[in-house]
Amino acid sequence: MEILLTITYTFLFIFIIYRMKFFELPGLSKRNLSFIFVLKIFFGLLLWAIYTFYYTDRSTADIYKYFDDSKILFDILKTHPSHFFRILLGISNTSPEFDTYYSQMHYWARKIDSSIYNDSHTIIRFNTLVRFFSFGYYNVHTVFICFLSLVGLTAIYKTFIPFLQDKKRELVFIVFLLPSVLFWGSGVLKEGLIFFALGLLIYYTTRLFSIKSIIICVSVSLLLAFSKFYVWLAIFPGLLFILWINKTSNSKLFLKFIFITVVLAVVGLNIDRFTDIQNPLVTLSQKQIEFNQLAVGNLTNAYHQAIPVAGSIIYIRPLDPSLASVIKNSPQAFLNTVFRPYLWEVKSPMMLMAAAENIVFIVFIILCLVFIKPLSTIRWEYVLFCLSFVVIQFLIIGETTPVLGAIARYKVPALPFLLIAFLFLADKDKSLKKFPFLKRIFRPLS
């Protein structure tokens, strides 16, 4: 039954791809886009197989732990429908009468008290909604998350393709076919929701101010904030900047970028002075403490068994809730996120994929800088937009995450933007004249 449902929903979404105008893309046919969708499902199934037959502790596997909790929430519908909808929608669901349900879920409540929103609720709710269609079969959820992820990636492609018409093939690969994006962005994980929300937010922000665009932007902005708040935080300055440029002009764009960055930094670092929101420096320090406790084995899994010490743990400097501490730690944090894991640190096939990708990315960036376009012809607003998002996200990850495997996964949503930024810099004609054999790989797409 699971196989039949998985195949049926796969063909249903392929039908939607062929029918929807949204999926009409320059440089990428609907046939090839459907192939990418099937490829994503393959990688989603691969992730399922790895965490089913290789890493067999279901209680600590992200693909299962939120899926299993969603069953507990879904079953409430049979006995207390009003309670089910209140939990699903997050409306008046904190009274003691709900504690009975939450105590049965292993990952609804944090193991460590924190003022930070528990984004596990979002992926649990997503799985709960999909259960109306999946009848509890896991790989149907894989098909749904792959389609949502594809929607977001398609939106990212549509955002940048008007400015990269001579690099369609390269953009297709960067957006859709990076191994880490295919692997982590195709499982029943938060990354799929992040790509969905992130892509639509960027695409429709550049198309404000229609009623449709505003509604979509508000909706997916909330979804992104509730899926991974730091990703929303990282993209926000760049969105304001690109919106300002698009609605005025690109004159003095570097001054505009600096102005937005400084203003948001000053407001953000003092937000606790005029609101009840916790200071972000305190939040960063708190997140590092939480992750360190998890990495060194100070927490237990869903069955109250000790979680083993992380196999790829690294040392990062303790982070105090002060700007000086953040600045001091930033070089190490950024370098860890960009370059690690090194090849000699590899302890699993997934880490090997991340290490190999890092090397390829570095080579790509160097080539783009060697064969750089005349500076006056570069669309600097989009370079700054992409790099702003990448740098902020990489710093947040590096400041708080002492596990190489987690770093490799958490930075995945930023990877396409890192390469897109340098793709804007690259002079394709120069590189092809120097290396004619590349014409076979990067021949123009119709």
> pLDDT by residue (tens digit) across 404-442?
989 999 999 999 999 999 999 998 888 777 777 665 555
pTM of the predicted structure, to 2 decimals: 0.93
* φ and ψ of 436, to 5 deg: -60, -30
Q: Find, among 324, 317, 341, the residue nearest to 400 by Cα.
A: 317
Tens of pLDDT along 94-147?
888 888 888 888 888 765 545 556 788 999 999 999 999 999 999 999 999 999
Look at residue 443 in the predicted model and tell me its pLDDT: 55
pLDDT at 442: 54
Question: How is residue 88 written in tokens?
Answer: 């699903």
Overall size of the chain counted in residues: 446
The 10s digit of each residue's pLDDT in 354-381 is 999 999 999 999 999 999 999 999 999 9
By CB atoms closer than 10 A (0-12, 13-18, 19+), residue 260 is buried
Lowest pLDDT segment from 28-42, 222-236, 284-298: 284-298
Cis amide bond preceding 209, omega within 30: yes
In the chain, where are the structural domains located? 1-227, 248-446
Under the banding of pLDDT at 50, 70 and 90, the label for residue 445 is very low
Question: Which residues are registered as beta bridge partners of 372?
Answer: 426
